[in-house]
Amino acid sequence: MISDILVKKYEVPIRGIILSIINAIKYNFLSAQNYIDILNFIFTNYSLHTSLLKNYCQSKYIKWTSNYDEIGHLEYVPKLDENDSYIENIIIHDQIGDFREYVSDHSIEKLAFDIPEEKNDTYTNSNQKLSVIEACAYYGSVNIFYFLLSALNCEITEKCLSYAIIGRNTDIINECLKKYSVDDRCIFNAIVFQNNQFLEYISRLNPSIFDNLDFNGTDAEQFVKSHNLKAIFLLFEKNNKLIFPWYAAFPQANKIIFNHWIDINICDSKDGNLLHYASMYNNSELCYYVLRHPCFNRELINSKEDNEDKTPIHYAIENNSIEVVKLLLTYNADIELIDKNFKKPIHYSAENNCKEITEFLLTYGAKPNVKDENMQTPLYYALMHNCIEIVELLVNNGANINDNDALGQTPLHYAARLNRKEVIEVLKSNNADIHAKDYDGKTAIHHAVLGNNIEIVSLLISYGANVKGAHERIM
């Protein structure tokens, strides 16, 4: 279904599918294990490297691991903090009987729970906590919610309505609406957490509310992660300024720009433009349209976003969007621009095992020995992520195999410590210095011992590495 329907029929990028599932896990805890199983299926069947995916799979409910081939695996960890796990589980599962018993012996006045959602949107800060009644609204625990109101005289807080929209319980939402009005935060939550029933209700009840909405400063990635296409089309009807330029992440919405006049050069509050989002999610059709548009500002091809200093080609390579990379190169994308970590596009292609893209970059003049902020070349990235074909490609195109990074370590040092046998064989066959020392005086065999890689130690000895003093040097 994932391959035949979502990917092939509806052209949903794999990245978008992963983000949507990760988002769903955070707010549908009872189905978390099913979502995890789907993600592990994707990781196993698609060429996706952990360097990109680890950033998406950050949650206190998810444990991330990867094997030597950089294939990721997730486990669901439902265990909560020791002090509050019992009562929080009661609230999550709306166990009214257990809750009554708990409050007969305990005060709930000082109870506060972490919000499991991400902390980087406009409406949430890292120190924010949920009160008991807010937690009930958040999880849709209607029985405990009404018990708090009737038996314990708890007050509905200003935040309860926005949390209730996440929890999706209609009775709780209606109760909150008696006291508070819908604001920008409520609409934001309805979009991001796909409560389209509420969104449609508000659009009928108060259509003008969309006229004054302001999502400026909001992390657009939150909208993209939700993959809420229904909301995109609804917002376009009500106030199309709300969806640009982040809607470019969805190929299914391309007809909006093809059939309507919009500002082709529009940018969000973080300087992200249509090309950034289209490149990020492999929307090659839209990239082609934008690049050929007579009103398009060509300087935007190489513009950087505020947060990461990434250009469209950085994003395209990061997501292995080969067609988009070809388009950007054809229209003179600058392959020498760096991100905030001084990484150039060829660092990204090496890191993400994009062989074809690496070949294109080299053809367009990319230098194999450029260095990032840690003085590491693309070769370091390729070997650290076990991209053996990229290692061979870079070496064959002049990569310096005896280079030193900021720690004085050569590629061979890293390969030895990370148990990269094939990489070591490639490096040695191209005259890697087996005796090279880092700034601490350690050679490759020292690093192999540090990594407890017995097979690598034996291999290095067979190449003539000096084992004498290795143990003492490490100690």
- Helices 160-167 and 184-192: crossing angle in degrees, nearest 10, is 20
Q: What percentage of the chain has pLDDT greater than the value 70? A: 83
Mean pLDDT of 308-327: 94
Q: Which of 319, 374, 310 is nearest to 337 (CA)?
A: 310
Which residues touch 175 (CB under 8 Å, ≥6 apart)? 145, 146, 149, 156
Residue that has been written with the tokens 């209607």 in this structure: 142
CB 193 within 8 A of CB 167: no
Does domain 401-475 bear CATH number 2.40.400.10? no
Please give the pLDDT value at position 8: 64
Please give the pLDDT value at position 474: 46
CA distances from 79 to 27, 85, 96, 215, 461 (A): 16, 7, 21, 34, 46
pLDDT tops 60 at residue 353: yes
Q: How far is C-alpha 448 from the chain's CA centre?
A: 32
pLDDT tops 50 at residue 473: no
Lowest mean pLDDT among 108-117, 370-379, 425-434, 457-466: 108-117
Domains 85-177 and 401-475 agree in fold: yes
Mean pLDDT of 244-263: 87
Which residues touch 429 (CB under 8 Å, ≥6 apart)? none
CB 373 within 8 A of CB 341: yes
| Amino acid residing at 173 | I
CB 54 within 8 A of CB 64: yes
Please give the pLDDT value at position 119: 43
Q: Which residue has the higher pLDDT, 54 or 231?
A: 231
Tokens describing residue 133: 């009644």
Mean pLDDT of 251-264: 87
Q: H helices within 193-306, ranges in order?
A: 196-205, 220-226, 229-239, 254-259, 274-280, 284-292
* pLDDT tens per residue, range 67-113: 545 556 677 666 544 545 789 889 999 999 999 999 999 999 889 88
Domain ranges of the chain: 2-76, 85-177, 401-475
311 burial (CB, 10 Å; 0-12 / 13-18 / 19+) is: buried
Mean pLDDT of 268-284: 91
The span from the CA of 285 to the CA of 308, in Å, is 25
364 burial (CB, 10 Å; 0-12 / 13-18 / 19+) is: middle
pLDDT tops 70 at residue 116: no
* pLDDT tens per residue, range 401-436: 999 999 999 999 999 999 999 999 999 999 999 999
Please give the pLDDT value at position 270: 86
Phi, psi (5° rounding) for residue 413?
-60, -45
Tokens describing residue 400: 């310096």
Tokens describing residue 148: 């708090």
CA distances from 215 to 224, 247, 353, 416 (A): 14, 14, 36, 49
CB 36 within 8 A of CB 76: yes
The span from the CA of 127 to the CA of 119, in Å, is 9
* pLDDT tens per residue, range 149-196: 999 999 999 999 999 999 999 999 999 999 999 998 999 999 988 899
CATH topology of domain 85-177: 1.25.40
The mean pLDDT of the chain is 86
